[in-house]
Amino acid sequence: VDELRAHVERVLPEASRYRQKLERRRLRRPLWIDDPEFRIARHVQTARVPTPGGTRELETLTADLLGTEVPRLHAPWRVWTVQGLANGRGAVIAMVHHAMGDGLAGFRLLDQMLGGAPAPMPAARPRPALRRLLSRRNARALVRLLVDALRPASQLGINPRHVERIRDVATHTVPLAAVHQIQRAFDVTN
């Protein structure tokens, strides 16, 4: 964990948002500010899986950790190194508030933070992503999405007052190169 903390601190200047927190202001939208009390040990921690340290134990630990809240008084992210895995395996679990980066943007930042080379920007595609999104194949899903967007959050089951902390996690291994390939294929960027 000490090596990971040192590495993350070295790359944080390239990802300054990770040293910031949200300052809540009355009647105005929150503002990102530098966290004067930033401490890497608060964000990079260790966790241990129970014996036998297999995939199911890792998934259970991941669900438990992701069921906790992100820090609200400090930069809203955490990373855990996982100890106790069978066969000398290692794992890293990351939790980043969606305000810091969703989807592929989060993968790119995590890739950068953990030492990978930055993913290349996708090449221009002759068929724009918007046309693919609006294709007939996606029409039904888009209609459902638009209908759901008009319903109150409480009817969708995403009202924060009603979200339970119980989480379940299942895993599937995908090479990071495949994530980059998907990024290029769908002409998406972060």
Which residue numbers are catalytic?
98
Distance (Å, rounded) from C-alpha 110 to C-alpha 168? 22
Residues 6+ apart with CB under 8 A from 93: 47, 61, 62, 65, 66, 79, 80, 82
Q: First CA to last CA across the chain, in angstroms? A: 28
